[in-house]
Amino acid sequence: MPESFAERLLHWYDCHGRKNLPWHHNRSPYRVWLSEIMLQQTQVATVIPYYQAFMARFPEVRALAEAPIDDVLGHWSGLGYYARARNLQKAAQTIVQDHQGEFPADQEQLEALPGIGRSTAAAILAQAFGQRATILDGNVKRVLARHHAVPGWTGQTRVQSQLWMHAETHTPDHRIRDYTQAIMDLGAIVCTRSRPDCEHCPLATTCLAYQRGETKLYPAPKPKKVKPEKTTWVVILEDSEGRVLLERRPPSGIWGGLWSLPELDAAYNAEELSDACERSFGFDCGDAQPDAGFRHTFSHYHLHIQPARLAVASGATRSTIADRDDHRWVYRDDALALGLPAPIRILLSSPAQPVLL
């Protein structure tokens, strides 16, 4: 009798799978959960140092639940998709408050936690609790879409339903920890987005896309949309003590909850920035010194960032800032220890690059 999908995959995993990633050791629910969240839309090589630093600072769920949000965001800074970090702490707080600090071993209860969806909940159940649970992350979607020649973009409801059905069918009743890791590894190592190594794939003999010579067709790419372009001034206000002014972003939206540099409307010209800062923050500034601008791309738009440096006049009043929790004067070294968006971190750690406007 021919070997099943799962049996072939497990034999491959025994020889070629990844078994020494940091979260493979002591697969507690907390460690599995953290790795799953970090790995969403982020490569393993990028995640490893963040995971290790995060575990060193927040070694268990109570430490994460009780930590200042600035500390959590600071350890996440650079990974992007910051809602993941905010949801991590919210989920940790819920686990402590409602589950006595223990992860629930139940799919529905796990999915009720902030930031945990169907596949992440299943990964926790399979990897940490050894329960038979079906996963469907990005790598698994690609493997199954090719193996069964499922047409369409994997973000479509119709396509997802088909992939969940195939995923459930192939999930075995034994070695569930190894199987879930194996199918993720196959997508990451062999069944890659471009140039899949089909000759060394354990599923090649039954892969419809490979048999038809159509691996490039599956899965179909996400329909492209033209991203809008936005522009903003980002002002680096520095006082006589060498501190810069930071403002906290709103809790939701782009860079939600992070500390950032103040922004001003792109409609201002450089000569108007000093007056604009006085109206916005209530103190006198010298003339703006624009720096070289650059573009930062988000998932749904491009942002053209035009930096400008302004010195705050010695003795200028800062009472309007002192009374607000969403603004803070910070030395640069201290600022770099906070949760900052990646482009803002670059601006604060780089020397000025003046331009003539």
Active-site amino acid positions: 36
Here the tokens at position 93 are 């707080």
Angle between helices 5-16 and 176-189 (to 10 degrees): 70
Distance CA 288, CA 307 (A): 10
Residue 355, token pair as written in the block: 């331009």
Q: In whole angstroms, how far apart are CA 57 and each of 63, 92, 93?
A: 8, 14, 16
Q: How far apart are CA 140 and CA 42, in angstroms?
A: 15
CB atoms < 10 A from the CB of 16, how many?
15
Per DSSP, 194 falls in state: S
Indicate the SS3 state at residue 260: strand
Residue with tokens 């794939």: 201
Backbone phi, psi, residue 49, to 5°: -65, -35
Question: For residue 64, is it left (φ>0), alpha (ψ between -120 and 50) or beta?
Answer: alpha
Between the alpha carbon of residue 213 and those of residues 9, 166, 192, 195, the distances in Å are 21, 21, 15, 13
35 membership: H or E segment, kind and range: helix 29-38
